[in-house]
Structure 1
Amino acid sequence: MVHQQRPEPRLSPSSDTEDMTDMAKLLAPRLAYFAAVARTEHVTRAALEAQVPQSTLSRAMARLEQDLGVDLFARRGRTLSLTPAGRTFLASVERALAEIGRAADEVRADADPASGKVAFGFLHTMGAETVPGLIHEFRADHPRVRFSLVQNYGEAMLERLRAGDLDLCLTSPVPDAPDLVARRLDEQKLRLVVPADHRLASRRRIRLAEAADEAFVTLEPGYGLRRITDAVCKEAGFKPRIAFEGEEAETLRGLVAAGLGVALLPPPAVPRPGVVELTVTAPRAVREIGVAWLDGHPDTPPVTAFKKFLLSKRGNLLP
């Protein structure tokens, strides 16, 4: 009878990854010991430098060689010299230890109360005046604190919070989610922005229902201001007819100025020619601005200080 030869079993890519991870966990605690022995080429001196018993160091080196399956040292009494394999391994170990040292220095620097870093996200519409003003005021008492700033729409910033990329964000609407903590800080009245030559441009105030037949330019779905626009129009008794969708409020103002529609927008940082901004008397057209952070996430001292500062601006956040 002829038996078919079975192929040798091979590890799947996921198994390879798991094996590498297991090996790293196995070797990592002994790498600094290895570097000390390699540097001194003497177990006793290395034990003094590493502040561990000589027997502990000797066992660690023997186990390291056993786990790797290669000889890292040639032994002559208590004196050791690196084998070619040992020299190759040492070069990578020194790079790894140096990288760990740099990472430790970086995280300590970011957490420093006086000069640490705050990763802060905010809406595009708050980038011209509000956020620069807040940071300028905060740095009057914390002049060396550094900021990593991210501008984006609300949902994207909340995902960055959850991913750990941001410490805090200013967003709208104020989120209500079990994994987040959010505090309302202020609100902005939204205005109906119309072209300067529009039939409504001579008005100062308007009930939103009077614009039910107009084409609207809005932000894309998923943006907080778009959800507010849809909700306010629904309360006014109509569904807005969307002519154009964009990603940034000032772009929408440009589209309005070009006569492509009307828009519900917060006040601009600088008045824009070509448009007229009308106060909406009904329904109530506002967007709430709040600060959010990840629930249970430990704060560094600079983040704690900036969070306290933002919360102190309740009712006085916006210029």
Structure 2
Amino acid sequence: MEHKNSSRARLSPSSDTEDIVALLAPRLAYFAGVARTEHVTRAAQEMQVPQSTLSRAMVRLEADLGVDLFARRGRTVALTPAGRTFLASVERALADIERAAEEVRADADPTGGKVAFGFLHTLGTETVPGLIRGFRADHPRVRFSLVQNYGEAMLERLRAGELDLCLTSPVPDAPDLEARRLDEQRLRLVVPGDHRLAGRRRIRLAEAADETFVTLEPGYGLRRITDDLCAAAGFRPRIAFEGEEAETLRGLVQAGLGVALLPPPTVARPGVVELTVTAPRAVREIGVAWLAGGGPDTPPVAAFKRFLLSRRGHLLPE
């Protein structure tokens, strides 16, 4: 296994990383096997490769690196200091590869795997936990990576390949995305408990034209819907506060800082009154979106997509 007279050219420090990776990658498992057994013949038997193949691979590995990894004593070998340093990194790399292989095999398992699922903050308290509970009744081994965010941010994560599916509003209409409408949710005008309109049950949105509004920040779907509904009612809302979460806005309303168009709360909040908006029709559509042309879904993603589509018209809790 002596290699010092080998005519094989050594890689220089300036060699491209891609070149050295291509040269070294096939030999790392061989190197780890020889280092573990400290015996070329035994390592060849364990890995079920010809001893000559293993010997040549070690000679070429040392030549490519330009260092001695083994001290040879007959049929046995021992790691040099450089070999011990190299082995530590090789074992970590092989362990990472093994974990990655296990993960992709698990994701392709029709009875298991993982779904990266995004959804709006306002759907996180009841809707999404109920959906996952219902789905896992028939798919108990499927795991979820859950992401809560506003609509535009989730669509960007879809495009980046970080999400498989997302529930969002409004339902996107973009050439690079597929989307299906699943349900709609009524929005209410939320006013403080001591507000002049608090004794009402229903209201036309135009009656709130002179009110101060609290809304979500621009970029949020609910903000766009609020602006559109107010425009349809003939006015532009006067906005005092912008936030990132619906229940925070409800708290601002409770504090008397404005009124807001919001979806129903999970739990009724004291100190506010929620009025049904009779005109214009105040709803937000909720749909599921995924990347168009992204190739076939993994079995768990395909199963969860079918499940969501089967909930069309009854996605939301009563």
Please say whether Structure 1 and Structure 2 have the same fold, judged by a TM-score greater than 0.5: yes
SS in 2 for 1:299: coil
Residue 180 of structure 2 is aligned to residue 183 of structure 1: yes
Residue 31 of structure 2 is aligned to residue 34 of structure 1: yes
SS in 1 for 2:46: helix
Which amino acid is 2:260 matched to? A
Q: 1 CA distance for matches of 2:291 and 2:47?
A: 39
Residue ranges of structure 1 left out of the alignment (5+ in a row): 1-15
Deviations 1:176-220 (A, max 9, x none): 223222111111111111122222222222221121111110001
1:280-295 to 2 correspondences below 5 Å: 280-295=277-292
Match of residue 313 from structure 1: 311
Q: What is the deviation of 1:111?
A: 3.9
Q: What is the deviation of 1:99?
A: 2.5
1:264-283 to 2 correspondences below 5 Å: 264-283=261-280
Aligned match for 1:300, one of 270, 295, 298: 298
Q: Which one is further off, 191-200 or 259-268? A: 191-200
Aligned match for 1:97, one of 88, 94, 97: 94
1:17-28 to 2 correspondences below 5 Å: 19-28=16-25
Q: 1 CA distance for matches of 2:307 and 2:205?
A: 36
1:51-70 to 2 correspondences below 5 Å: 51-70=48-67
SS in 2 for 1:93: helix
Q: 2 CA distance for matches of 1:134 and 1:283?
A: 30
Q: 1 CA distance for matches of 2:174 and 2:55?
A: 54
Q: Which one is further off, 70-79 or 246-255? A: 70-79
Match of residue 6 from structure 2: none
Q: What is the deviation of 1:289?
A: 0.4
Q: What is the deviation of 1:93?
A: 1.3
Q: 2 CA distance for matches of 1:23 and 1:185?
A: 51
SS in 2 for 1:120: strand
Match of residue 44 from structure 2: 47
Match of residue 163 from structure 1: 160
Q: What is the deviation of 1:80?
A: 3.5
Match of residue 138 from structure 2: 141
Which amino acid is 1:33 matched to? Y
1:133-282 to 2 correspondences below 5 Å: 133-282=130-279
Aligned match for 1:130, one of 103, 127, 132: 127
Q: 1 CA distance for matches of 2:19 and 2:157?
A: 30
Q: What is the deviation of 1:309?
A: 0.6
Aligned match for 1:80, one of 77, 81, 105: 77
Aligned match for 2:106, one of 109, 124, 137: 109
Q: 1 CA distance for matches of 2:289 and 2:205?
A: 31
Q: Which one is further off, 111-120 or 59-68? A: 111-120
Residue ranges of structure 2 left out of the alignment (5+ in a row): 1-12
Q: What is the deviation of 1:297?
A: 4.6
Q: 1 CA distance for matches of 2:179 and 2:112?
A: 26
Q: 1 CA distance for matches of 2:37 and 2:264?
A: 68
Q: Which one is further off, 90-99 or 219-228? A: 90-99
Deviations 1:227-258 (A, max 9, x none): 11111111222111101111111111111122
Which amino acid is 1:123 matched to? L
How many aligned positions are there? 304
Q: 2 CA distance for matches of 1:206 and 1:81?
A: 85
Q: 1 CA distance for matches of 2:291 and 2:75?
A: 54
Q: 1 CA distance for matches of 2:295 and 2:152?
A: 19
Q: 1 CA distance for matches of 2:14 and 2:264?
A: 53
Q: What is the deviation of 1:128?
A: 1.6
Match of residue 3 from structure 1: none
SS in 2 for 1:26: helix
Q: What is the deviation of 1:314?
A: 0.5
Q: Which one is further off, 200-209 or 48-57? A: 48-57
Q: 1 CA distance for matches of 2:296 and 2:22?
A: 26
Deviations 1:62-96 (A, max 9, x none): 22111101122234565433333223222221222
SS in 2 for 1:104: helix
